[in-house]
Amino acid sequence: MRPADSTASAAFDQAAMLAALRARVVRLEGSGRAAAGRLDIPGLPGGGLARAALHEVLAAAPGCGAAFAAVLLGRCGGTVLWIAGAADSLQAWPPGLAGCGLDPADLILVRAERPQDALWAMEEALRCPAVAGAVLVLADNLPLTATRRLQLAAEAGRALGLLLRPGMLTAEPSAALTRWRVAPLPAVESPRWHLELLRAKGGAPDGPWTLAWQAATRQLRIEEAPAAHRATR
């Protein structure tokens, strides 16, 4: 419906017109994202992540990054593609990922010889309507154009897209919706992580939190929230 039609009525309803315009802008900005909605992840600060979008995870250690990605992807409830470059000497180990809640029956491992192949595979996976989640494991920074392409591909599908990069890299600009940093904490049985929200589109940086992964209940738990959050509680 065009806004002009609503203004044709006797009363000039400015609020209604603004709401219609806002809805239209939302549709223009990310049609797929609005339809795909959010993925609820109990225990994650913010309560979840937007589907049909790209999220960046910087990992201070390779293990905690992979485990955190597995926790997020395990909640997707569908086919998950794990795309890794062949140059990487590390390979995903499904029994460990399953311990982090990612069902091996949903998991498809993809190994790309060249970085451009990995990017192509990620783009194809994000566009596919049957893929619930995909992670691209990278050793280098990506140019802004590449992340923009991935973000557009993600909006065309309904998958949760993750970019998993080493945390030592200087944070370059990217088109991803959010950027998280995860670092390992001393843990006895269940893994514990230090999590920060470094960047969020349309939001402010947040954190840090202390998270624990409870394998028995397959849930994340916030052990310690930032001071500002505790004060408002």
Partner 1 sequence: MTSRFLALHLPHFATDRIRRAERGLSPDWPLAVWAAQGSRRLLAAVDAAAGAAGLRPGQPLADAQAMLPALLLRQSDLIGEAQALAELALWARRYTPLAAADPPDGLLLDVTGCAHLHGGEAPLLEEAMGRLRHAGIAARGAIAGAAATAGALARARSDNPIAVSGTEAAVAGPLPVGLALRLPPAMLQSLASLGLHQVHALAGLPRGPLARRFGQDLLDRLDAVVGRRPSPIQPALPPPELSAAREMVEPIVTRSGIDAVLDRLLDELCDRLRTAGVGVRQLTLLAWRVDGAVQEVAIGTGQPMREAAHLRRLFATRLERLEPGLGFERMALEARATQPMTAGMQPGLAIGSRTEEADAELALAQLLDRLGQRLRVRRVAPRASHWLDHAVAALDPQTCPPPMPEGWAAPAWPVLRLRRPQPLEVAAALPDAMPALLHWGGRTHRLRRLEGPLRLEAEWWRAQPGQARRDYYRVELDSGLRLWLCRAEGRWTLHGHLP
Cα Rg, the chain, nearest whole Å: 19
Q: ω before 208 within 30° of 0 (cis)?
A: yes
Q: Which stretch binds partner 1 (CB under 8 A): 55-63, 145-153, 170-178, 200-208?
A: 55-63
Nearer to partner 1 among residue 45 and residue 85 (C-beta): 85
Nearer to partner 1 among residue 38 and residue 111 (C-beta): 111
Residue 166 in the binding site for partner 1 (CB under 8 A)? no
Nearer to partner 1 among residue 100 and residue 160 (C-beta): 100
- Say if residues 183 and 193 touch (Cβ distance below 8 Å): yes
**Ramachandran angles phi, psi of 230, nearest 5°:** -65, -35
Per-residue binding string, partner 1, 189-218, x by CB under 8 A, is xxx---------------------x-x---
Residue 129 in the binding site for partner 1 (CB under 8 A)? yes
> Of these, 49, 50, 121, 220, which contacts partner 1 (CB under 8 A)?
121
Q: Which stretch binds partner 1 (CB under 8 A): 32-40, 122-130, 138-146, 197-205?
A: 122-130
**Exposure letters 82-113 (e unless 16+ CB within 10 A, then b):** bbbbeeeeeebeeeebbebbbeeebbeebebe
> Of these, 186, 204, 227, 232, which contacts partner 1 (CB under 8 A)?
186
Angle at 188 between CA 183 and CA 190, to 5 degrees: 70
